[in-house]
């Protein structure tokens, strides 16, 4: 499994602590440094079963600058959202765990981390 983290994020640190406590085998991806491209974001969204606006941190300053709250949330706008996430990775909700079974979870709670571990 892989976990996308921002080391400054307390939810990310909590998820790592739980993974370590459970003896999980995982790879850390600091997604602000190793930025996922649009194709990777599409793949993770498919694994999550979510749309790009579902994993967008709309309170970030860059989100306000881009006016994301006013963007349409429909199939025609999906590519625009994905491009924004790829260009501004700080907008991506964290942490995201891609599980070994091909699924993924936004692991903001201990329950979500445990869910990923059970897959």
Q: Which residues contact 5 (CB under 8 A, 6 or more apart)?
A: 12, 15, 16, 28, 29, 30, 31, 94, 95
From 1, 2, 9, 42, the catalytic residue: 9
Q: Which tokens is 65 given?
A: 């600058």
**Catalytic site residue 12?**
no
CA distance 118 to 55: 22
Active site residues: 9
């Amino acid at each position: 499994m892989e976990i996308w983290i921002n080391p400054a994020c307390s939810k990310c640190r909590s998820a790592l602590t739980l993974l370590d406590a459970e003896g999980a085998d995982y790879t850390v991806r600091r997604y602000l440094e190793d930025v996922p491209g649009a194709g990777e974001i599409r793949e993770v969204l498919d694994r999550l079963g979510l749309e790009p606006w579902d994993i967008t941190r709309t309170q970030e300053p860059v989100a306000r600058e881009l006016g994301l709250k006013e963007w349409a949330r429909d199939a025609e706008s999906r590519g625009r959202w994905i491009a924004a996430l790829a260009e501004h990775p700080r907008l991506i909700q964290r942490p995201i765990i891609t599980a070994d079974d091909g699924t993924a979870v936004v692991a903001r709670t201990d329950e979500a981390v445990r869910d990923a571990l059970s897959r």
